[in-house]
Amino acid sequence: MVSRENKVVVGCGAVSFALSGGGLLFTDLSSEVLIGILLLGGVVAPVIVNDFLDDRE
């Protein structure tokens, strides 16, 4: 059984990977910006979302 925390982490990681890949292919953003998008979306966002959801319970 997959926990809610794992679903949030995988979902955020997939979205941030897609955004970074799309940014690489379709925009002129620098690699530093794309790495920032990947790190913020894949690491920071799941922590914030999981903390928010834990506080609601």
- Tell me the whole-structure pTM to 2 decimals: 0.86
Q: Over 90: is that where the pLDDT of 57 sits?
A: no
Task: Give the tens place of pLDDT for each residue, 3-54.
Answer: 999 999 999 999 999 999 999 999 999 999 999 999 999 999 999 999 999 9
Task: Inform me whether the pLDDT recorded for 1 exceeds 90.
Answer: no
Per-residue pLDDT at 43:
95
Distance (Å, whole) CA 30 – CA 36 = 10
Q: How far is CA 6 from CA 12, 21, 26, 31, in A?
A: 10, 22, 30, 28
